[in-house]
Amino acid sequence: MTSPKPGLPVGPFADAPAPQTQTQTLSSGQLIRRQFRKNRLAVISIWLLLTLYLLAALADFVSPYGEAEAFFRGQIDRSFAPPTQIHWRDPGSGKLTQPFVYNVSSELNLDTLEFDYKEDTSRAYPVEFLTRGTPYTPFPLNVIPVTWRNSLHFNPQVNFHLFGVQKPATIFLWGADRLGRDIFGRILFGARVTLTIGIFAALISLVLGLLLGAVAGYYGGLIDDLIMRTVEILATIPALFLLLALRSLFPLDAKSSVVFFVVIVILGFIRWGGVARAVRGQVLSLREEDFVMAARSLGASDWRIILRHVLPSTASFTIVSLSLLIPGFILTESGLSFLGLGISDPNSSWGLMLAVAQEGGLQTFTSRPWMLLPGLFIFVTVLAFNFIGDGLRDAFDPKSRSR
């Protein structure tokens, strides 16, 4: 009688099949998403930017006042009014109650030569939600230019706002500017311009860089030399001077819609060189790959090979580049508006609001710090885009997945 070999099961389970371990195969997209979720800062940044874009789209509804609605030199004068104090307790009983505000009156302080605002506690004005206010065109119809809506005789107006108070009281969550305009609302309206210009300018720059870089890398020779020399010439011109030269081709008093389009085109034109150079380097190696040679042998045209086979292979670089281009364009647009070459009053952008704050000089820092809030939004937005870019770069990097 032979003894069982060591390591083998004996008894009633001797003939049972060995347990099999099931391994889950993840696709490339699932691996990228899993790696991206590990970056907490990138995930938080995405939610933060989504919130900003949503608030910008619904700015007319969220803001208690219109973009250009001012309280200045009239019955209600709120020039440089500080943030409104919202009261939550009944002044008599001290119990929690519906939030309310008091009307304020301004008096000139002869010592500081500034207006001091004092509350008139004789009457409370409750903060009303879903209240009526300044009429506006709701989102997404407000994306359509006004001239188009008027020509089509289709310009619906609504007057519901998320919150507000009855006049003569006012509610400024983040204070008011020189003309008594709500800083909170103008930051939301300005986000439309600043954030939208950043995305569209980045898309223009990315498309130009991808196409020209792919053409240069695929064909090589004289075409490559011409495109790369053009990139080098543009790189020798300081970006600020190039921006000023291109902006000077258009009148300074042009309509805001025209300026909006012009700024997008100008910004997209000056930044495509770096993308083109990076794409060219990738295409130089991709054009000798087997799948490109197979497509060429099957008679595919050059443009079909570039668009269907070569450029999709640069998808990871494209996504990361887009996330890193946007913050640069946001800063550039803010700089243009700060210099008075971008969006102009009564429209708003974060750079324009900083320019208005800069006019106050040292007083802005000492007496009116709420005027600097647009700078904080620029800083946070640029930082969020950079965190997302870092997260995407690590997610697309195979080496980081093994860490």
pLDDT tens-place string over residues 336-374:
888 877 787 888 889 889 988 888 777 888 888 999 999
Per-residue pLDDT at 25: 73
Tell me if 28 is assigned to some domain. Answer: no
Q: How far apart are CA 9 and CA 11, in angstroms?
A: 7
Residue 8: what pLDDT? 52
How high is the pLDDT of residue 31?
83
In this structure, the answer to whether residues 163 and 251 fall within a common structural domain is no
Domain boundary among 163, 181, 199: 181
Residue ranges in the chain modelled with pLDDT below 50: 1
Same domain, 114 and 193: no
Rounded Cα gap, residues 199 and 322, in angstroms:
8
What's the pLDDT at 247? 73
Q: What 3-state DSSP class applies to 253? A: coil
Judgement on whether residues 92 and 192 belong to the same structural domain of the protein? no
* CA 321-327-351 angle, 5° bins: 155
Triad 289, 291, 294: Cα angle to 5°: 110
Regarding whether 274 and 157 lie in a shared domain, the answer is no
Best CA proximity match to 357, nearest among 196, 181, 169, 118: 181
Contact 369, 375 (CB under 8 A): no
Total domains present in the chain = 2
CB of 383 closer than 8 Å to CB of 326: no
CA dist 71 and 84 (Å) reads 14
User: Is residue 29 assigned to a domain?
Assistant: no
Asked if 334 and 353 count as a contact pair (C-beta separation under 8 A), the reply is: no
pLDDT at 382: 94
Residue 324 CA, chain-centre distance (Å), reads: 12
The Cα–Cα gap between 195 and 382 comes to 10
Structure tokens at 331: 């800063």
Residues spanned by the domain of 388: 185-401
* Nearest-5° Cα angle at 185, 69 to 326: 125
Q: Round to whole Å and give the CA distance between 20 and 393.
A: 36
Same domain, 191 and 322: yes
The residue from 181, 198, 226 where one domain ends is 181
User: Using one digit for the tens of pLDDT, what is the confidence trace for 321-332?
Assistant: 888 889 988 888
Would you say residue 384 lies in a domain?
Answer: yes
In a domain, 370, yes or no: yes
